[in-house]
Amino acid sequence: MSKQESVRCIACGSGCTPYIDAIWDDRYGSPGTFSILKCDACGQMVTSPQLTEQDLPDLYSRYYPRREVDFTALRNEADLVLREGAAEKRHREGTDNQGHYLVKPGQKVLDIGCGSCVSLLEVRNLGGESWGVEADPNVRAIADHFSLNVHIGSIHDNPFPGLSFDLIVLNQVIEHVPDPPALLKLVRERLNPGGKVVLAFPNTGSLNRRVSGRKWINWHIPYHLHHYNSRSFSLIAEKAGYEVENIKSITPNLWTLLQLRAYGDEAAEGQASTAWTGSGPSVSEKASLAMRWKNRLASRATGLAHGLVGPVNRLADALGLGDSLLVVLRKS
Ligand SMILES: [Zn+2]
């Protein structure tokens, strides 16, 4: 405990003290018990003990699920962005918590942590030029199939040398990296004059976090290393040479449904959750009768919840209490 108490906040430098004593990977069952420390001054939180860059590849390759690649599904998903009313639909569903939707035609966009590359295809559909960086080597096949510019590795490798960007997006990335200020400073060097960095990440200032306590799905231990609120993130950004142009909270309706499902799910340390690792429509043929009934009840509750979560989420978002933050930064 005395070692934990010496941890300094990455946002303001104040001391951090224990906030949640014992928390573990309740999705994929990677081993280990962690704690969450909170800054007494600005509320920034950190997972303890901290994982290092060396720990991450093994952790992700052993425990993080990979979806099977379906090229047609990816293309169809990306083409939805061209439909009439697409932006309104994103707003209703809370899926507009992703920086690349802010692209303007003709802009050069870099998506760090581009995952399935749907965002790169969407940028292309919206008239921008897209580049991506992704650690997962399985993404190579997707990039090649769609002739996308993707660097498999890290932004620390200095990919696409000589290129700079009008928009750099980090969707659900900054909470996964060991040294966020270093990443922000590096990204700043790749901006065109007038360029912007847009980040999306979970909001510890959310209503859901307060209601859910240690069952909040966005603790996502041990993969999420740092946990931000709007104030603490602004401090970090300002120290890294940015001005915060805009900050708003958005709650994807899907997150709320997953949160509701997680309430009924209790995974011990080292044990994967059936709710998170089950494939397809949540119940396998091999599931026990009891499990099938449990899932059937859960999916009925989910159906009921569906009509309610949208309006509740949009209200929470308007009050700044949404479950993710979307932050627009420019060089100060
Ligand atoms: Zn602090």
Domains of the chain (ranges, CATH numbers): 67-208+227-248+324-331 (3.40.50.150)
* Structure confidence at residue 285 (pLDDT): 40
Which tokens is 322 given? 């949404």
* Structure confidence at residue 2 (pLDDT): 44
Residues 6+ apart with CB under 8 A from 32: 24, 25, 222, 269
Which tokens is 136 given? 């997962």
What is the identity of the amino acid at 273? Answer: S
Q: How far is the CA of 4 from the centre of ligand 1 (A)?
A: 15
What is the identity of the amino acid at 229? Answer: N
DSSP state of 219: G
* Structure confidence at residue 236 (pLDDT): 98
Q: How far is the CA of 238 from the centre of ligand 1 (A)?
A: 13
Q: How far is the CA of 89 from the centre of ligand 1 (A)?
A: 36
Low-confidence ranges of the chain (pLDDT < 70): 1-5, 65-67, 274-275, 277-306
Q: How far is the CA of 235 from the centre of ligand 1 (A)?
A: 8
Pairing of strands 165-171, 191-202: parallel
**Distance of alpha carbon 5 from alpha carbon 82, whole angstroms:** 51
* Structure confidence at residue 304 (pLDDT): 63
Q: How far is the CA of 43 from the centre of ligand 1 (A)?
A: 6
Q: How far is the CA of 138 from the centre of ligand 1 (A)?
A: 37
* Structure confidence at residue 289 (pLDDT): 55
Distance between terminal CA atoms of the chain? 39
Question: Could you count the other beta carbons within 10 Å of the beta carbon of residue 250?
Answer: 23
Instruction: Give 211-261 pLDDT, tens digit per residue.
Output: 999 999 999 999 999 999 999 999 999 999 999 999 999 999 999 988 988
